[in-house]
Structure 1
Amino acid sequence: MNDHKPQWTGIKDRITGALLGLAAGDRIGGPLQFALRLAESLLKHARYDRGDVFRRYLVWYREGAFDTGPVAERVLSLAHSGIPVDSAVLHVDRELEGKTAGCNPAHRAAPIAMALTIPDETVAETARQQASLTHHHPLAGDAAAAVAVLCRTLIRGHSWETALDRAGDGRMPAIRTALDPADYGTLVPSGFAPETLRAATHFVNRATCFEDALAASLRFAGGANYAPVLVGTIGGARWGARQIPASELGHCLDRNRVERVAKAFCLSPFS
């Protein structure tokens, strides 16, 4: 049992880092609020409960949700009016002429990586399922799957290179390209999921520490709350909570809740 203690200590640091990193990178707050609600559902049920997660999102919407992104906001609005969630998602996809490949599902995917009650082999599918609560386009779900697998692999203690390989396994071509350090091309500060993921992996790949990766992504993004959110999540899973300066969390009004949720994930048995 003692042989596992150092390994488990590192895993707990990276579990915590994924959520603290998300909070550090999210300078507006919507992605963190989605992630917290997903996380609290996973903790309550020890599995992904689709209905419960969406109910939590809808309660937040009724309480005055902000920074949800246009796709999720429209889906939640329709669901609030009484339209079933699957019908709402399809309606919004038609309404937006298929332009629902946003990064919101990837932004909120961290808790799936953190929840070790979800087996490694089902992480990707679980991430795709939670993406489908708001975004119909397969790229949105595939980007979320890539982020969840990338973070889970890093949390397990594997190398950055191994994590990139596993995250790209079985993904759509645009997502595999976004994960390829040799094929970053021109970066765009966009909310289109492949572009957001491409920028985020670029900054985490080039940096030697969390602070440098996040700082570079914030300079790149300007006021856009896209790439830095993923840089925070992925960087936190790579370098761990101990490498996230407290100064990067000064803007987070929910820090106590974030730390409480992260600690709860760390209390799950070693997997």
Structure 2
Amino acid sequence: MASIHARCDGMFIGHALVSNFDDSCHMASQLSESLLELKRFDGPNIMSRYLYSYHTKKYDLGETTKIVYESLKNRVQNESKRSPVSRESFLFDQSIIDETARLTDSTLGNKTAGCGPSSRSFPLALCHWIDDDDLFDISKKEANLTHHNRLAGEVAGIVNLICRSLLRKKTWEEAIQLAFLAPSLHDDVSAVCLRYGRSMNPNVNMHPAYAPRVLLEALQYVANSNNLTEALRNLNVKQNFYALPIIGVFLGARWDIPLEIFEDKLNDPRLKTIRDIANKFSREWNPENESACY
């Protein structure tokens, strides 16, 4: 059975390779840096990293997060007349972040139940100091930094609970069953568990980025794959577009990612960076008995 190091490494590598280093990879790295540096969940600190990274690098963002950024950027521009823009310029009180997320939800007609948070927040599952019983609620807090709709947070929580169980060497089916024991789930989230293994076709009336729909797609895809090689070979970038980051995380958590899969990318600095992050997380779980990721 894979070690904790292999699972941590696999989640980061799977996430990056399957999503082709998309925007969720940038955000997962920023989240990781905050968690590793502070050893606690600090919403304003995490948000400042998200916003400043986007401000300086301009990678693609989902519509919801982009509107949040534009709203908060106006505050920064007013302040920047007096001093240069830095990450600290994007350090807002939690109340301001919450209000911006609420206003964004209103602007979008209460349709901020997208899969962005569930695509970026898996590093929370790797934090040894986040108790299993707290992981779901902290995942919802992370989601609410940008997505006010409860569904975005609940789906992120389910993804992270599955990852935590796999990290603790539960089987795939055990991990799914344990995750859906989370309390007070929205009906649309609970329905994912009911439909899992029974219906492959998502609800076509829902937006393809709707978090419960994306979760079901990711779960079905991984469950219907016999092994990692088959799963990677059969991926359809166009068909599975929104689910790709979560599929990658699940593949890495379930099977880990052996060296031969990404050997041609070993010199990619982006891959080295995320593997360094994975190694830091894994050392916190069992620093005496586990060997390094690579």
Which residue of structure 1 aligns with residue 32 of structure 2? Answer: 39
With 10-19 and 128-137 compared, the bigger mean Cα shift is at 10-19
- The whole-number CA distance in structure 2 between the counterparts of 1:209 and 1:198 is 19
1:137 pairs with 141, 149, 171, which one?
149
Which residue of structure 1 aligns with residue 213 of structure 2? Answer: 195
Deviation >6 Å, runs of 4+ = none
TM-score by length of 1: 0.89
How far apart are residue 186 of structure 1 and its match?
1.1
Q: Which has the larger radius of gyration?
A: 2
How far apart are residue 250 of structure 1 and its match?
8.1
Which residue of structure 2 aligns with residue 240 of structure 1? Answer: 256
Q: How does 1:136-215 map to 2 (within 5 A)?
A: 136-170=148-182, 171-180=185-194, 181-187=196-202, 190-215=208-233
Aligned length: 262
Which residue of structure 1 aligns with residue 49 of structure 2? Answer: 56
With 130-139 and 181-190 compared, the bigger mean Cα shift is at 181-190
- Give the residue type in structure 2 aligned to 1:24: L
Structure 2's unaligned 5+ residue stretches are 76-91, 288-294
- The whole-number CA distance in structure 1 between the counterparts of 2:170 and 2:252 is 14
Identical pairs, percent: 27
Q: Residues 113 and 151 of structure 1 are in contact (CA less than 8 Å); yes or no, is this contact kept in structure 2?
A: yes
- The whole-number CA distance in structure 1 between the counterparts of 2:148 and 2:33 is 24
Q: Residues 114 and 265 of structure 1 are in contact (CA less than 8 Å); yes or no, is this contact kept in structure 2?
A: yes
Q: Residues 19 and 233 of structure 1 are in contact (CA less than 8 Å); yes or no, is this contact kept in structure 2?
A: yes
SS in 1 for 2:286: coil
Deviations along 1:97-125, one digit per CA (max 9) or x if unpaired, are 01100000000121011111211111111
- Relative to structure 1, the CA distance from residue 149 to residue 253 in structure 2 (aligned partners, 3 Å threshold; closer, same or farther) is same
How far apart are residue 256 of structure 1 and its match?
1.1
Structure 1 vs Structure 2 CA RMSD: 2.4
- Give the residue type in structure 2 aligned to 1:205: A
How far apart are residue 61 of structure 1 and its match?
2.0
Q: Residues 14 and 249 of structure 2 are in contact (CA less than 8 Å); yes or no, is this contact kept in structure 1?
A: yes
- Relative to structure 1, the CA distance from residue 169 to residue 251 in structure 2 (aligned partners, 3 Å threshold; closer, same or farther) is farther
Q: How does 1:61-140 map to 2 (within 5 A)?
A: 61-82=54-75, 84-140=96-152
Q: Residues 236 and 244 of structure 1 are in contact (CA less than 8 Å); yes or no, is this contact kept in structure 2?
A: no
- The whole-number CA distance in structure 2 between the counterparts of 1:109 and 1:243 is 24
- The whole-number CA distance in structure 1 between the counterparts of 2:241 and 2:197 is 25
With 135-144 and 261-270 compared, the bigger mean Cα shift is at 261-270
- Relative to structure 1, the CA distance from residue 208 to residue 140 in structure 2 (aligned partners, 3 Å threshold; closer, same or farther) is same
- Relative to structure 1, the CA distance from residue 260 to residue 160 in structure 2 (aligned partners, 3 Å threshold; closer, same or farther) is same
Q: How does 1:15-34 map to 2 (within 5 A)?
A: 15-27=8-20, 29-34=22-27
- Give the residue type in structure 2 aligned to 1:245: I
Deviations along 1:13-39, one digit per CA (max 9) or x if unpaired, are 111111111101212510100101001
TM-score by length of 2: 0.82
- Relative to structure 1, the CA distance from residue 73 to residue 21 in structure 2 (aligned partners, 3 Å threshold; closer, same or farther) is same
How far apart are residue 253 of structure 1 and its match?
5.8
How far apart are residue 223 of structure 1 and its match?
6.9
- The whole-number CA distance in structure 1 between the counterparts of 2:115 and 2:51 is 19
Task: Say whether 1:228 aligns with 2:276.
Answer: no
Q: Residues 200 and 217 of structure 2 are in contact (CA less than 8 Å); yes or no, is this contact kept in structure 1?
A: no
- The whole-number CA distance in structure 1 between the counterparts of 2:154 and 2:10 is 23
